[in-house]
Amino acid sequence: MVQSGIEPLGRLRLGVNIDHVATVRNARGGRNPDPLRAAKLAEEAGADGITAHLREDRRHISDADIDGLMEALSVPLNLEMAATEEMQAIALRHKPHAVCIVPERREERTTEGGLEVAQDENRLAHFIAPLREAGCRVSIFVAADRPQIEAAARIGAAVTELHTGAYCDAHAEGRFDARDAELERLREMSTHAHSLGLEVHAGHGLSYDTVKPVAAFPEVMELNIGHFLIGEAIFRGLDPAIAEMRRLMDAARGR
C-alpha cells in the first residue's frame, strides 16, 4: 500500500541528466568524455529519458551537444533551460520531447531554488505558449510550495518537477527532522499537484540514500538524476550505477 491511498500511477521513469559528463570534458576542453556517448550508454542501461541543461553561460552542455542528442537519441530528451528568448528559440528549433523551465543565475553552482512562477505568471504563460504549440511537454521546476505549483497549473504547464534539493541537503547534513519535514512537504505537494492535473516529476540531489522515499510517492511519474549517477559511474561504471538506481526505484514502488 502506498502513502496517499492511491496506487502508483504507472512505472516510474528515470531521466538521466548528463550535464556533468560535459563538466568533466570542459575542464580540459576537447571532446572527452563525450556526453552523447554517456547518453547512449544510459539508454542501454535502462534510462527512460535523457536530461540536459543548456545553461546561458554554456558551462557544461553546449549547443552542439543538444544537436547531437536530438539526432542520436532514441529515448525522449528533456531540455532544461531558463525562460529566455534565446533558449525559447533553441527549443523551438529542436522541439525536444520535453522542456523544463528552471531558474538560472550565473553565480550559482547549480540550480539552487525552484522557479518563481507566481510572481511572473503572465510572462511565463506567454513564454511557454509557443513551446506547447510546438508539441513540447512543458515542465516547470518548482520548490514544494503550494502557490508556485498552483501558478504552474494556471499557466498551462503539463508537468511540474518538484525540487528535492532541500530534502537531500538536510539528509546529507544529518538534519533528520528537517529532512523528514521536507519529505512531508514533497509528499503533500505531489498529491496537490496531481489533483490540479499536473504530471509530477521530482529531482535534484537524489542519491541511493535519498531516492526511495521520493520514488514511493504514487503521483511521481519521473525522477531526473544526474550529479550522483555521474559521480558513482567513476567507481562502478555508468551502466551498473544506473542499474542500481533503477533497482532502488522499482523496490520503492513495490516492483
Q: Which is nearer to ligand PXP, 167 or 228 (CB)?
A: 228
17 conformational bin, left if phi > 0, alpha if psi -120 to 50, beta if neither? beta
For residue 190, the minimal CB distance to ligand PXP (Å) is: 15
Q: Which is nearer to ligand PXP, 118 or 229 (CB)?
A: 229
204 assigned to active site: yes
Q: Which is nearer to ligand PXP, 48 or 80 (CB)?
A: 80
Catalytic residue among 20, 53, 171, 192: 53
Alpha carbon distance 234, 153 (integer Å): 39
163 assigned to active site: no
Catalytic residue among 20, 43, 60, 80: 80
Alpha carbon distance 196, 194 (integer Å): 5
Q: What's at 176, amino acid-wise?
A: F
DSSP 210-237: THHHHHT-TTEEEEEE-HHHHHHHHHH-
Catalytic residue among 60, 163, 171, 204: 204
For residue 15, the minimal CB distance to ligand PXP (Å) is: 8
Contact residues toward ligand PXP (CB under 6 A) are: 17, 19, 53, 80, 100, 102, 110-111, 141, 161, 203-206, 224-228
For residue 52, the minimal CB distance to ligand PXP (Å) is: 9
Exposure letters 71-100 (e unless 16+ CB within 10 A, then b): eebebbbbbbbbbeeebbebbeebebbbbb
80 assigned to active site: yes
Q: Which is nearer to ligand PXP, 6 or 144 (CB)?
A: 144
- List residues with catalytic annotation: 53, 80, 204
